[in-house]
Each structure stands twice: as C-alpha cells, then as structure tokens.
Amino acid sequence: MRAAQALRTGDQARATSLELERSEALLAVLGQAIAELSLAHTLETAVARVSELLRAERVAIYLGDSNRLRREGGSGDAELAVAEHLLELAFGPLRAQGLLHIEDAQADARLAPVRAAVTEARIDAALAVPLVAREELVGLLAVYLPRGRELEPNEAALLSALAAQLAVAAQNAELHERTERQATELQETIASERKAAKQVRALYEISRSFAQSLSLDATLDSVTSAAVDLLDADAAVVRVLDARGDLLVPRSPHLADPRLEPLRPLLDREQTVDELPREPVVLDPPAARSLGEPYELLVPFLEQGASALVVPIATSAELLATLTVVSLDPSKRLGAEQVETALFVAGQAALAIDNARLTQERKDFADTMQRSLLPRGLPEVAGLEVGAVYESSARVDVGGDVYDFLTLPGGELAVVLGDASGHGIAATADMALAKFAFRSLVRLYPDPAALLEQANEVALGELAGGNFVTMACLTIDPATGSVSAASAGHPPIRVLSGDGSIDLLAPRGLALGIEADQRYETARATLEHGAALCVFTDGLVEARRDGDLYGEERLHLALLDGRELSAQALAEHVVADARAFAGEPEDDYAVVVIRRT
C-alpha cells in the first residue's frame, strides 16, 4: 500500500511538473512576443505552443469582432464561416461559459446552421475561446481536435488563461503596429512634401486638369489662374487666334485680387498676329513698345518697377495663342526662372487648347446635325397647343433623340418621340431612320400600334447589329380629345388633367429592331379641355446629381407646378427644373407637351 501510494504520488508530481513546465514555457514565449510588440510573432508563437501543449495539429487564431473575423495568413471561406459561428455560440446572447467544447462537429446540433462548412473544412471537433481584452472582443482562439478527444481540466484552465493573455498581447501588438505604421506613413509624407517643391506639385495638377478638360473656356480659365498662382503674379490673359487667324483675341483674363480691377483694360486689348513674338519675351519698356498697343499700355507700369512676360502657346504645326503675365510688385519680378515655368504651362496649355477647340468644333457640328433632324417648327392645329424642347447633352457625341409631328387627313395630330440606343454617327443614322419611318408610314398606318409594327420591320432590316430604337407614337383628335397611343419600349406618357391629377398611358411593346413579328398594344384616353400630354425620352428622368436621379416624382411635381402654363412654357419649365437639379445634362433628352385648348 505504501509502495502504491508512493507511485501515485510520484505520477501526480510528474504531471504537475509537466504542466508547470508547459505553462512556464508558454508564458515565457508570450512574454517575449508581448515585449517585441509584433502581432505576427505573437500569433505565430501562440499557435505553435498551443499546438504542442494540446497535441493538436490544427490551431487557428482569428482577429476581428462579432461582425467579421479574419485569420492571419488566410483561410478558406468554410473555415471562417465555422469560426464565426463558434464565436457567436461562445460570445453571443446564449454564450457558453468561457470555453466552448464541441466534441463531435458533425453531430452537434449547435453547428447545424454551418454543417456544410464544417464538412468542407474537415472539422471533427473544436475548442473555441473568445479573445477579450479590456472588455473588447479581439478575436477567437480555435483548436480543431480529432473526434472524441477528451479535454482534461488542466488543459481547459490553461487554454482559458492563455486566451486572456493572448487577447491583451494581440490587442497591444495591433495597436503598436498601427501606431508605428501611421508614424511611418506620416514621416514619409512629410519627407515627400519637403522633397517636392510647391511648383512641381502645382504643375502636375495643371497638367492633369488640362488633360481632362474638354471645355475651351474652362481650359483657358485654368491656364490664366494657374499662371497667376504659380508665378505669384497679379494678372494673366490668354489671347487666342480668331476664326480668320488675323487677330489674337483676349480670353479669360484673371486678376489675383479684385482690387486690381483697374488693370483689366490693359488685358482686354486685341493683338495682331504680325506683332506677335515668336519666342518668350520678358518685357521691358522698349520691348513693350515694339509689340504694339496692347503692350504699350504696360510701359508706365514697367517704368515703375513692374514686370511682364509673353509666351507663345503653339503646337508643332501652328500658333494657337499667347500667354501674358503681369507682376506689379517690384519685389516679385518675372525673370528667366518664371519664363521656364510659363513655358511649361504654355506647353500643357497648347495641347489642352487644341483638344478643347477641336472638341468644341465637334460638339457644334454634332448639335447642328442633331437639330437638323428635328422639326423646324411646331404644328398649328386648331384646338391643340404644342410645345417641344430638345436639350443637348454636355458630351461631344451626337445623341439619338428625335421627335416629329404630322397632321393626318382626318384632322388628327400624329406625334412620335424616339430615342436611338448609343451615341455618335450610328445613333444619328438610327434617328434619321426613325424619322423617315414615321413620315413615310404614318399616312398608310394612322393607328399607332400598326405604325410601330411596320416601323419594327423596317428597323430590323436597317439598324446595325445590337442597335434598337424606343418610340412612343400617338394620335390626338382635337375635336373629341380622343387619344390613341402605342409604345415600343418607351417611358409611359403622362396625362396631366385640369384638376391636377396625373395618369399614365403605358401601352406595352418591345423596342424597335430587336425581334420580328411584334404586336403592340394600343392605350386610349380622352383629353379634356385644358388637360395636357407630356411625352419625353428617358434622359430626362435619368438626369443625375451625385448619383441621385431626377426621377418620376420630381417630374410630376414640375408638371403640377406648371399645369397652368402654355404647352411650350410647360415643356420649358420641365426642362429647366431638370437642369436646375442635375446641371449640364449627360444625355440628350426631349420633351413634347400637347395641351387641348
């Protein structure tokens, strides 16, 4: 009996000694990790020691909160899903006491919601301990064990104690690394700011803004304001060649201070091309006199210590403009260094001005083409009042909106409003096709639905692959107010009654040019005296401001607000309301209003 007792006592002593050695080793490693304040080292060390002490092949530490976890070093989605569910069980409203032990992951009902993820991640059993530091959830310590592996009391106690220290270590290490990272980033930013001169940064911004600008006026404004800011000058002006190429016309004069307004007349003078310097010139009184009247006015200022320079703005092929900069302060004289800066601005400006000029010419041409396909005037039909507005987009490409009117032999007014998909020349061709189809078919097929059926067959044969046209077609009898309408994928027609109510005419039908043998619905209504119809293309309701659509609700409010206006005034009111909301339109849109008088 004494021998047996001695053996038992020896076994207990050895077990206690072993556990003590385990704890001391683990705490020593964690202490080293905490001292180094390295999150990666802390986690790596903790995983290795827990795996060794619990004889487990899979140990994972997840960081995050109750909303989302992440595993350092990455893991599969299935394992993360299981870990998040374990955290919910261990730390959620029905949380276990400290440590959660799942002895059979496949059979345990608590893991039923993530059973597929358990299978995919090949998890047989699991231990989960939330990592909580200073009452804040830091993450989860998970040990994935073989099925049936029993957990000894000292192992559970050791794991809980380890989790508490690991949470503090991880939190401190993460905070330390975040602080170090922010400090490093701040130092790098300061070093970069000191290394990069203000002038270089400004020139980069100028170059970028010039490259992105498609407006000639905006480009010229940027040139003069940037020249004044970069050269620390008082005024600047760009003189651009006129259409004939004989004169340089002043554009976008910029003054650094409103109090310098008396200087503006010196900037608003034209210059002949013959007097233009071909190289950059820093002006002195003799040089200013030699360049003619615009610069002769600067002579009294130059004699009092002011300075000025003139830089040509040109491409390799042609002269486009000149940049003139004036500094009135004798202590801020413009010299060779400022000429170099002005030359850089002029080089960037030359490309931007050339692009902006070509862009403006293309847009003018596009608008001319677009408007040439629209009716030259509004129809005059007794008993009806017609208004129409076409709003061109700020983009260069031609849009595909078209509307047209035709008075039928029986006295009805036929109206069509279409929108071709896409932009550019192809959209213009499709728009012309839509107008041709309406004009050529409406007398043969006065019923809107029949007209669209025939127009669809024409579109199938003529439209380029993938293109289509949405179209609303309607007829109004001014004597009876009878309205017949059909639609090929077009927005519903609004009917504004005299009492202020708004109804929709929304016949169904597929856009033209998509599928053969289409049949289109006919919607009918009666337009009372004083009531109005509003037909529009989708660019109106899809006008945006900061991602927010103008939308149908704002359209209805605009219609109600202008219900007492004439047809033309109401159409203009709706367009003005959309423009006030969204600014320059990104897409063309057309609005047609017909009121029964």
Give me the pLDDT at residue 204, please. 64
- Tell whether the model's pLDDT for residue 198 goes beyond 70: no
- Tell whether the model's pLDDT for residue 446 goes beyond 50: yes
Question: Do residues 337 and 274 both lie within one domain?
Answer: yes
Q: Which whole number is the average pLDDT over 174-200?
A: 71
Residue 394's pLDDT band, with cuts at 50, 70 and 90, is low
pLDDT tens for 328-362 read 999 989 988 888 888 888 887 787 777 777 777 77
Question: Do residues 435 and 577 both lie within one domain?
Answer: yes
Q: Is residue 228 part of a domain?
A: yes
Residue 22's pLDDT band, with cuts at 50, 70 and 90, is low
Strand partners, 526: 482
Give me the pLDDT at residue 508, please. 94
- Tell whether the model's pLDDT for residue 9 goes beyond 90: no
Question: Do residues 223 and 164 both lie within one domain?
Answer: no
Cα–Cα separations (whole angstroms), residue 242 to 270, 272, 319: 10, 10, 11
Question: Do residues 514 and 479 both lie within one domain?
Answer: yes
Which residue is associated with the tokens 């610069």? Answer: 295
Q: Is residue 189 part of a domain?
A: no
Question: Do residues 542 and 450 both lie within one domain?
Answer: yes
* DSSP state letters, 187-255: HHHHHHHHHS-HHHHHHHHHHHHHHH---HHHHHHHHHHHHHHHHT-SEEEEEEE-TTSSEEEEEEEEE
Question: Of 462, 461, 420, 449, which is closest to residue 518 (Cα–Cα)?
Answer: 449
Question: Do residues 351 and 379 both lie within one domain?
Answer: no
Share the mean pLDDT of the chain. Answer: 83
In angstroms, rounded to a whole number, what is the distance separating the alpha carbons of residues 404 and 388? 10
Residue 1 CB neighbour total at 10 angstroms = 5
Residue 292's pLDDT band, with cuts at 50, 70 and 90, is confident
Question: Do residues 127 and 205 both lie within one domain?
Answer: no
Residue 472's pLDDT band, with cuts at 50, 70 and 90, is very high
What does the angle CA 576 – CA 579 – CA 584 come to, to the nearest 5 degrees? Answer: 140
Q: Which whole number is the average pLDDT over 67-90?
A: 81
Higher pLDDT, 465 or 57: 57
Structural domain span for residue 133: 17-178
- Tell whether the model's pLDDT for residue 255 goes beyond 90: yes
Question: Do residues 538 and 484 both lie within one domain?
Answer: yes
Q: Is residue 261 part of a domain?
A: yes
In angstroms, rounded to a whole number, what is the distance separating the alpha carbons of residues 143 and 59? 5
In angstroms, rounded to a whole number, what is the distance separating the alpha carbons of residues 169 and 155? 20
Task: Determine the 3-state secondary structure of 176 from DSSP.
Answer: helix
Q: Is residue 148 part of a domain?
A: yes
Q: Which of 178, 212, 243 is the last residue of a domain?
A: 178
Q: Is residue 195 part of a domain?
A: no
Give me the pLDDT at residue 382, please. 94
- Tell whether the model's pLDDT for residue 373 goes beyond 80: no
- Residue 33, C-beta contacts closer than 8 angstroms, at least 6 positions apart: 41, 42, 45, 46, 169, 173
Q: What is the number of domains present in the chain?
A: 3
Domain CATH code at residue 88? 3.30.450.40
Residue 535 near residue 478 (C-beta atoms within 8 A) = no
125-133 and 136-145: which strand pairing? Answer: antiparallel
Q: Give the pTM.
A: 0.48
AA identity, residue 172 = N
Q: Which of 367, 392, 420 is the last residue of a domain?
A: 367
Domain CATH code at residue 482? 3.60.40.10
The pair of three-digit structure tokens given for residue 348, joined into one six-digit string:
């960037």
3-state secondary structure 371-407: HHCCCCCCCCCCCEEEEEEEECCCCCCCCCEEEEEEE
Question: Of 352, 509, 373, 527, which is closest to residue 438 (Cα–Cα)?
Answer: 373
* DSSP state letters, 281-332: EEE-HHHHHHT-HHHHTTHHHHHTT-EEEEEEEE-SS-EEEEEEEEE--GGG
Task: Determine the 3-state secondary structure of 19 from DSSP.
Answer: helix
In angstroms, rounded to a whole number, what is the distance separating the alpha carbons of residues 351 and 344? 11
Higher pLDDT, 551 or 90: 551
The pair of three-digit structure tokens given for residue 296, joined into one six-digit string:
């002769």
Residue 563 near residue 582 (C-beta atoms within 8 A) = no
Percent of the chain at pLDDT > 70 equals 85
Question: Of 292, 542, 299, 560, which is closest to residue 399 (Cα–Cα)?
Answer: 542
Task: Determine the 3-state secondary structure of 590 from DSSP.
Answer: strand
Q: Which of 145, 178, 211 is the last residue of a domain?
A: 178
Residue 150's pLDDT band, with cuts at 50, 70 and 90, is confident
In angstroms, rounded to a whole number, what is the distance separating the alpha carbons of residues 526 and 334? 75
Q: Is residue 143 part of a domain?
A: yes
Give me the pLDDT at residue 348, please. 76
Question: Do residues 403 and 523 both lie within one domain?
Answer: yes
Higher pLDDT, 29 or 130: 130
Q: Which whole number is the average pLDDT over 258-276?
A: 82
Residue 235 near residue 256 (C-beta atoms within 8 A) = yes
In angstroms, rounded to a whole number, what is the distance separating the alpha carbons of residues 209 and 227? 14
Q: Is residue 207 part of a domain?
A: yes
Q: Tell me, what DSSP letter sits at residue 512? A: B
Question: Do residues 400 and 330 both lie within one domain?
Answer: no
Q: Is residue 1 part of a domain?
A: no
Residue 490 near residue 472 (C-beta atoms within 8 A) = yes
In angstroms, rounded to a whole number, what is the distance separating the alpha carbons of residues 289 and 275? 11
Residue 33 near residue 41 (C-beta atoms within 8 A) = yes
What does the angle CA 475 – CA 479 – CA 482 come to, to the nearest 5 degrees? Answer: 40
Q: Which whole number is the average pLDDT over 22-50?
A: 66
Question: Do residues 75 and 148 both lie within one domain?
Answer: yes
Question: Do residues 149 and 216 both lie within one domain?
Answer: no
- CA atoms within 13 A of residue 260's CA, in its CB half-sphere: 18
3-state secondary structure 125-146: EEEEEEEEECCEEEEEEEEEEC
Residue 162 near residue 46 (C-beta atoms within 8 A) = yes
